[in-house]
A and B are shown apart, each in its own frame.
Chain A
């Protein structure tokens, strides 16, 4: 009954360091997403994967890369972290892109870039 699992939950980086946020879902969902949440700005879509083998940019993709490793896993990579990437990152998944979609979210990963 895990749903969507994100790791790590907390991370502190120095400017210029790289890291990967991991996300896995066990609901056999086709679509997966990465969002960031910043105070006063709501959640913004970084990248999404409509199905295994495909990825597309969202609203704020600059500075990030993603990999849909298989149907279960979707990772987000920061190649050279910047203080502007300090945020809470959420992974989500859904069965597909049809109109009747409910998104299931992970618990979030809080990233601080110094």
Chain B
């Protein structure tokens, strides 16, 4: 079964720290991988999408990397701020499905403290 795992489930860091969130997946045959942010009681907001042919994507203070051979992706957040506090979800589109059918991890709940 294709699975997506995110560890740790929760993370607390002081403001200003750089941090890395991890995502691992069981099958290297993927269309793409997406990182989402979810604020409490809200929907998901897409942060970054990495195509299977890409190694990384950057948006502002966020950088996502993809290593298909090891089944891993990381989301790097530079100079964290309290406003970054949210749950971060990784989702993978495996090639045995369609490109739009995503398998989600359970997320990492991030708290950035003052």
User: A residues touching B (Cβ–Cβ < 8 Å)?
Assistant: 4, 31, 33, 40-45, 48, 50, 58, 90, 92, 94, 96-108
What are 17 A-B interface contacts by the 8 Å CB criterion? Answer: A40-B106, A42-B4, A42-B104, A42-B105, A43-B102, A45-B102, A94-B100, A97-B99, A99-B31, A99-B32, A99-B52, A101-B93, A101-B99, A102-B46, A103-B44, A103-B46, A103-B91
Does B100 contact A105, Cβ atoms closer than 8 Å? no
Assuming A99-B31, A105-B45, A106-B43, what are 8 further A-B pairs, CB within 8 angstroms?
Answer: A90-B44, A92-B44, A96-B100, A100-B32, A101-B93, A102-B34, A107-B42, A108-B43
A100: chain B residues at CB < 8 Å are 32, 49, 51
Does A97 contact B98, Cβ atoms closer than 8 Å? yes
**CB < 8 Å A-B pair total:** 67
